[in-house]
Amino acid sequence: MAKLEILKYPHPFLKKRANPVSIDKIDNYLRITIANMFETMYENHGGGLAATQVGLNMRLFIMDGSENKDQKFVAINPEIIERKGEIYEEEGCLSFPGVSAKVKRAAWIKMRALNEFGEMYELECDGYHGRCIQHEIDHLDGITYFDHLSPLKRQMIEKKYKKLMQENSEK
């Protein structure tokens, strides 16, 4: 498998809305891409990864919130079809290494998507998985968790992030 490069903020591709995946493009090549995305996510200790984060213009994300890396989850052309409640929890992102912030999300969601074999499914979830799905779908829409922050909070986190990136580049 091939590890992919995770794009880091402020890369302009992170602001791009991804195109839907055509059903005829759900093939072995796409499944290899998905496997490469999982390898990349696991190597970077992430719980989810959107295709746009690795420079792929397609509505696809993967997720695995388990410690044993045994609960792989694929969503192609995902859409949230129902939301309930509200939570305010800490979020991080592989495209913003080293920083996190509290973000307001729906407490419960119902999502519809295709799996890696082109089969339609619906999923209801809350907690970590619900937040992660919302976070990844935001990526596919060109939205980062920074976009959910107040201008003051965003400025504070960006300053910390830029300092971390500068320190890492000097090493």
List the domain range (segments joined by +) for residue 26.
Answer: 12-86+108-142
Integer Cα distance of 60 and 85 in angstroms? 25
Give the domain CATH number at 35. Answer: 3.90.45.10
Domain count, the chain: 1
Integer Cα distance of 128 and 108 in angstroms? 10
State the pLDDT confidence band at 2, using cuts at 50, 70 and 90: confident
Residue 27 forms part of a structural domain: yes
Q: Are 111 and 79 in contact (CB under 8 A)?
A: yes
- Of 46, 131, 127, 30, give the one whose Cα is nearest residue 80: 131
116 catalytic? Reply is no
Residue 2 forms part of a structural domain: no
pLDDT in tens, 15-54: 999 999 999 999 999 999 999 999 999 999 999 999 999 9
CA 37 to chain CA centroid, Å, is 11
Q: Which of 67, 79, 119, 136 is catalytic?
A: 136
Tokens for 68? 């044993």
Tokens for 53? 């984060």
Q: Are 62 and 42 in contact (CB under 8 A)?
A: no
pLDDT in tens, 83-126: 999 999 999 999 999 999 999 999 999 999 999 999 999 999 99
Q: Is the pTM of this model over 0.85?
A: yes
Residue 153 forms part of a structural domain: no
Residue 132 forms part of a structural domain: yes
